[in-house]
Structure 1
Amino acid sequence: MTVCERLRNPCGWRAGAKQISVDAMLPLVVVPILAVIAAQAFLCTVAVFLVTPVFVYYLHHNFLRFLLRTKFFLMWTITSVLMMMLVFEISVVPLLEILPEENLVFMVCVVGGMWCGYKTKLNADASIQENAGVVDVLELGDGSGELCATCRRRIPPKAHHCRLCQTCILNREYHCKWLDCCVGSSNLRWYVSCLFFSAIAFIYGSNLTMTSVCHPFILIGTILLPDDCSDVYHQLDIALCFVSALYSLFVGLVLFCYLIYHLWLLYIGTTSNERRLDMKNQSDYRMLNVSQLFCCKT
């Protein structure tokens, strides 16, 4: 906290020096360094992919969770997306193994995922500001609905309090730290769209990259899958493409699981927060919440 308070941007801003958030700047340095280390050898790749989740959990458990609204996970998301997109466009496309149509589909999915993610956070911030204005108008306990024990005001049904956003969110799913916002009725459609486009972009980009740097084989028609990737570590840029593809595949599969999960919740007409509370009330509740494994607060 002392470092965060004393660290300032030395650039000459019009309004004076700006405070630098260490937790927000850390992914800009850590993510590229981890990618370069993983590209050195196969054992380095395995070590980085095993150590990174432990490292992120250690930071969150010992430091980041004491900050009310950390930008660490949001900046990790932005840095990862930009890094993988740059690696694809700078190192994979010049190999001339990617058709222009394939690159166009990939870029459309990337831009679509980024736009939907931006709209998800924008709508969440607008909803928080609207709720804050309502709090200023209403007196303690005024309004209709149940009384929130935290913010001490009446809330509509299916609204739940988020301690990070410090307000009640209608049809709250959970607080997604990777987008630094709550997911609720105001932005659920944008969030699901973000999951859809992002899952396609990561999985499709991973397939295009692996089939370009590895020896591919034809699965069905024009669909290719990687066969032999034993020689990717002979050149640093090719190894960096391979590591980026593995990272993209892992992220894409996680996002795809979240997409299926939310589509299932929409089908049965409930939210993840309500389902978690219902399962907690049961005496035989023993399941681990999957969202907490990826630092999505419920």
Structure 2
Amino acid sequence: MSRCVTGRAIDKSRFSNMLLTFQDRLRIPWRGGAKQVTFGAIFPIFILPLLISLAAINAYTFTVIFVASAVILCYTFSYVRQRSLRTRFFNMWIISSVVYILLLFEVTVPLLEVLPEENYTLAAFTLISLICFYQAYKRASFNHVKITDTEDGITDITEASNTNENAEQTLILLDQELETGQQSGKQPSICSICRKHIQPYSAHCKVCNACVKRYDHHSYWLNGCIGESNHRFYLTGLIFGILALLLGADLTLTAVCHPFLAANILGVQILLPDDCSEVFDMYELSLAFVIAAYALIMAVYMITILLRQIYFVSRGITLYECNKGLRGNNKTPSNWGSFIS
């Protein structure tokens, strides 16, 4: 308004402050007090149904929206990861995706002759996956290193004495221990960033700004670190999530497309889609086809992550250690035994 009246451009700092003020005022009612929400957290909730609805119009919009969304998501993910930014955008994106896929599946697909047993199996896979991912998210904070004292009695720098002299002496001792560990080629027992005494195989997560026990990586999709306390839940969630997505996509595609019998295992008929050229003739069918394609894309992405995780566990290393140049060992049974126990 002021630009239209005065003809002067608005200062960028003022515009930025206006956005920050609006975001600070953006809160939702919650037990114990209103919760502040960010643009990144609410954006997927509104944009996903719009994209799915537009993609179901015809084959052209389906191709354009899926390709454009994939490119934008990959660029955004790479941008956030390179700068170690903390955001709930990807976490809310995956939650919104699961909600919309399940909602559209239950509304459209069972009407197309899906057996109750198939629906129950899909619900079981989905429930197990969601429980495992929730436990992985809930236990992420358990991975944070909270050690304040070491075996030799040196106190963590964050718990140093109130006197400047003792604090300086503690800092000197920590620096010496850190330098000794780096020169020996072994992992130092001191974090170079937060100056905490850490256990072996621990590392500092720049996103969470905390040292994580048995650090594997920071999962933006779960908005937490994967480490010692939640790695098994994360892996189990991936397995059942992939099963749920593949089963849901197959049930949907064989319902809206022309199916064929792929196999008959112990009396259970395995159907696969054959011809889907007519799905865009009806909007209800195209909508089901779009969510099935979206589920398949998510499944392929999760399969890639799962295979990578299986390889690292088999080699006895983490993703973080692999990025540091470690290659692990060939003791696969022993490595899996240590991982499961």
- Shared fold (TM-score greater than 0.5)? yes
CA 1:133–1:242: 2 relative to 1, 3 Å = farther
* SS state at 1:182 partner: strand
Return the alpha-carbon distance in structure 2 between the equivalents of residues 173 and 83 of structure 1.
30
Preserved CA contact (<8 Å) 2:215 2:225: yes
- After TM superposition, list the pairs within 5 Å mapping 1:1-298 onto structure 2: 2=17, 3-7=19-23, 8-9=25-26, 18-60=35-77, 68-96=85-113, 98-128=114-144, 131=146, 138-139=159-160, 141=174, 146-221=189-264, 222-278=269-325
Aligned equivalents of 1:150, 1:74: Cα separation in 2: 26
| Counterpart residue type for residue 244 of structure 2 | A
Structure 2 CA distance, aligned partners of 1:13 and 1:264? 42
- Name 2:152's counterpart in structure 1: none
Give me the TM-score of the superposition, normalised by structure 1.
0.84
* Displacement after TM superposition at 1:175 (Å): 0.6
Contact 1:4/1:22 (<8 A) preserved: no
Describe the superposition over 1:240-278 as per-residue Cα deviations: whole angstroms up to 9, x where unpaired. Answer: 110100110111122122222212221221111111111
Instruction: State the distance in 2 between where 1:127 and 1:270 align.
Output: 17
Quickly say closer, same or farther: Cα 1:14–1:35, change in 2 above 3 A: closer
Q: Secondary structure at the match of 1:75?
A: helix
CA RMSD after TM alignment: 2.8
SS in 1 for 2:274: strand
Larger mean Cα displacement after TM superposition, 198-207 or 133-142: 133-142
Bigger mean CA deviation after superposition, 143-152 or 234-243: 143-152
| 1:58, distance to aligned residue in structure 2 (A) | 4.5
Count of matched residue positions in the alignment of Structure 1 and Structure 2: 278
Q: Partner letter of residue 50 of structure 2? A: I
Cα distance 1:121–1:133, how it changes in 2: closer, same or farther (>3 A)? farther
The 1-side partners of 2:317 and 2:56 are apart by 43
Structure 2 SS opposite 1:69? coil
User: Is contact 2:143-2:213 (8 Å) kept?
Assistant: no
Unaligned runs of at least 5 residues, structure 2 = 1-15, 150-155, 161-170, 179-187, 328-341
Contact 1:127 1:186 in 2 (8 A): yes
Q: Deviation at 1:133?
A: 7.8
Distance 1:17 1:158, change over 3 A: closer
Check the 8 A contact 1:5/1:19 in 2, yes or no. Answer: no
TM-score by length of 2: 0.74
- The share of aligned pairs that are identical, in percent, is 32
For 1:271 and 1:119, the matched residues in 2 are separated by 20
Residue 14 of structure 1: CA displacement? 7.6
The letter for the 2-side match of 1:171 is R
CA change 1:175–1:14 in 2 (3 A) is closer
Q: Report the AA paired with residue 320 of structure 2.
A: N
Deviations 1:165-221 (A, max 9, x none): 111112211111011111111100000011011010011110110000101011112
